[in-house]
Homo-oligomer: A and B are copies of this chain.
């Protein structure tokens, strides 16, 4: 009885979240520029309603009563998730929720033009206020979760991992990667660059053709365009985006394939638990492991590009070709090109973790109080120089102001990218061990065995098993860099 009431209450919350997800997709893809204020107000109201329903005392009472009743495994996991969400939600004072929301909007809105103008001073004070409120927020969460404040923030994005898990992984990558980057740069064969322009309509057709081959369900999903590619939409209505560069069809293709990895996870979540917390994805690092498994482990690899080359030629050029720049070997060189750069979102697989680790070091220090907001530009410059040999000096735009995350109050988010990359390698290694002849299947464009396996072991489990236990169950090992570093060494330095 109390379980049913709890279930119904979270279905209402899920319906509000459905609306918020579609409104958020619409804002990024469709909304006219002048409608932002009205939209922000409506979304704040709906988010407030969802928060009220989650944080209400009845939720805690129902969850406690439900936990004492006779539940199956999924119901029990659902109640555990709900109890945790409720404890977190009611731990944050209402005035802090409002203050944080306002500080986030103010800081993000200031950041957009300031980034273009390379104007750090225009955001520094707002960011300092936001970081101060985020520390309050983290402290309140940490008390109820009985953990480190940074770990409490991380819990919003990827439950079950802590700094104690991340630190050794990141320390090892930080130690090993710079030499690997040097070696890869020395050894890579320059790729032939196909000459464009490549019309957007053809690039879109290519993305859709490959998505369909992989198994994206267009009956319950869409591909559109946005400034930054993302996977959004609601459960049962998966919407991914890419962006088109007329001179480089691989950019839109790989972005679409990355988001297709997210989308296949979303479309594979357990339908019977749709609308309940236990039916949600198991966290953002796990989500990222699925997008990177798709993009990095599969699609930027030789077997996939051997399969895709003819489709790429026919779709982009209108016919197959024997020109060398369009052959699988050259496409592979293009798709695995390594280059040191300032911008995280443009980084290759090998340098990307160094961008993330830099941000992780700085944001943990910000939260611990060891780094002041005013000192971020210097710290950034120093860290970029050390890890990638690139000084950012007064170039804030391509330095500490390049990502929206901190300016939107997202601290604790960055490590999920590299945790995802590490888990992707572990999970794909397990898949190759479990699935006979997987490389050959991919070479022939047969993705069924891979996704059958992923649905059984990862997608279809929702949040039933916490991500870390899931990783152990699927791969037989805990979080570790072996598979990832093996993959990188094989691909880039062999």
**Stretch from A161-169, A214-222, A419-427 that touches the partner:** A214-222
* B234–A32 touching, CB < 8 Å: no
* B30–A42 touching, CB < 8 Å: no
* A237–B31 touching, CB < 8 Å: yes
* A15–B46 touching, CB < 8 Å: yes
Which chain B residue has the least Cβ–Cβ distance from A12?
B45
Please, what's the 1-or-0 string for A1-41, where 1 marks a CB less than 8 Å from any CB in chain B?
Answer: 00000000001101110111011001000111111011101
* A221–B42 touching, CB < 8 Å: no
Hey, which chain B residues are within 8 Å of A218, CB to CB? Answer: 32
* A235–B38 touching, CB < 8 Å: yes
User: Can you name 11 A-B residue pairings with CB atoms under 8 Å?
Assistant: A12-B49, A15-B41, A15-B46, A16-B45, A16-B46, A19-B23, A19-B46, A30-B30, A32-B220, A33-B219, A49-B49
Q: How many copies make up the complex?
A: 2
Residue of A38, A222, A235 with highest tally of chain B CB at under 10 A: A38
C-alpha spacing A38/B219, complex, angstroms: 13
Which chain B residue has the least Cβ–Cβ distance from A15?
B45
Q: Would you give the shortest CB distance from A41 to chain B, in whole angstroms?
A: 6
Hey, which chain B residues are within 8 Å of A35, CB to CB? Answer: 220, 234, 236-237
A337 located at the interface, meaning its Cβ lies under 8 Å from any Cβ of chain B in the complex = no
* B32–A219 touching, CB < 8 Å: yes
Hey, which chain B residues are within 8 Å of A220, CB to CB? Answer: 32, 34-35
Q: A16-B46, A22-B23 are in contact. List 14 more A-B contacts (CB 8 A).
A: A11-B45, A15-B42, A16-B45, A19-B19, A19-B23, A19-B42, A26-B26, A34-B217, A34-B219, A34-B220, A35-B220, A37-B236, A38-B274, A49-B49
* B222–A32 touching, CB < 8 Å: yes
Q: Would you give the shortest CB distance from A16 to chain B, in whole angstroms?
A: 7
* A222–B38 touching, CB < 8 Å: no
Hey, which chain B residues are within 8 Å of A12, CB to CB? Answer: 45, 49
Hey, which chain B residues are within 8 Å of A49, CB to CB? Answer: 12, 49
Which chain B residue has the least Cβ–Cβ distance from A14?
B42
> Which 6 pairs from chain A and chain B are nearest by CB?
A15-B45, A38-B236, A35-B237, A34-B219, A18-B42, A34-B220
C-alpha spacing A84/B197, complex, angstroms: 61
Instruction: State the A residues within 8 Å of B (CB).
Output: 11-12, 14-16, 18-20, 22-23, 26, 30-35, 37-39, 41-42, 44-46, 49, 217-222, 234-237, 274
Which chain B residue has the least Cβ–Cβ distance from A49?
B49
C-alpha spacing A316/B217, complex, angstroms: 37
Q: Would you give the shortest CB distance from A402 to chain B, in whole angstroms?
A: 28
C-alpha spacing A235/B30, complex, angstroms: 16
Residue of A14, A32, A42 with highest tally of chain B CB at under 10 A: A42
* B217–A30 touching, CB < 8 Å: no
C-alpha spacing A42/B233, complex, angstroms: 13
Hey, which chain B residues are within 8 Å of A11, CB to CB? Answer: 45
Hey, which chain B residues are within 8 Å of A20, CB to CB? Answer: 19
Hey, which chain B residues are within 8 Å of A42, CB to CB? Answer: 14-15, 18-19, 234
* A30–B219 touching, CB < 8 Å: no
Residue of A16, A30, A31, A44 with highest tally of chain B CB at under 10 A: A30
C-alpha spacing A11/B45, complex, angstroms: 9
* A237–B32 touching, CB < 8 Å: yes
Which chain B residue has the least Cβ–Cβ distance from A13?
B45
Q: Would you give the shortest CB distance from A300 to chain B, in whole angstroms?
A: 28
Hey, which chain B residues are within 8 Å of A217, CB to CB? Answer: 34
Hey, which chain B residues are within 8 Å of A14, CB to CB? Answer: 42
C-alpha spacing A16/B20, complex, angstroms: 11
C-alpha spacing A39/B46, complex, angstroms: 16
Residue of A11, A22, A23, A46 with highest tally of chain B CB at under 10 A: A22
Residue of A14, A219, A237 with highest tally of chain B CB at under 10 A: A237
Which chain B residue has the least Cβ–Cβ distance from A234?
B38
Q: Would you give the shortest CB distance from A145 to chain B, in whole angstroms?
A: 30
C-alpha spacing A16/B49, complex, angstroms: 10
Which chain B residue has the least Cβ–Cβ distance from A222?
B32
C-alpha spacing A34/B22, complex, angstroms: 15
Q: Would you give the shortest CB distance from A442 to chain B, in whole angstroms?
A: 27
C-alpha spacing A45/B218, complex, angstroms: 26
Q: Would you give the shortest CB distance from A15 to chain B, in whole angstroms?
A: 4
* A32–B235 touching, CB < 8 Å: no
Q: Would you give the shortest CB distance from A254 to chain B, in whole angstroms?
A: 23
- A26: contacting residue among B22, B38, B274, CB under 8 A: B22
Residue of A11, A19, A220, A222 with highest tally of chain B CB at under 10 A: A19
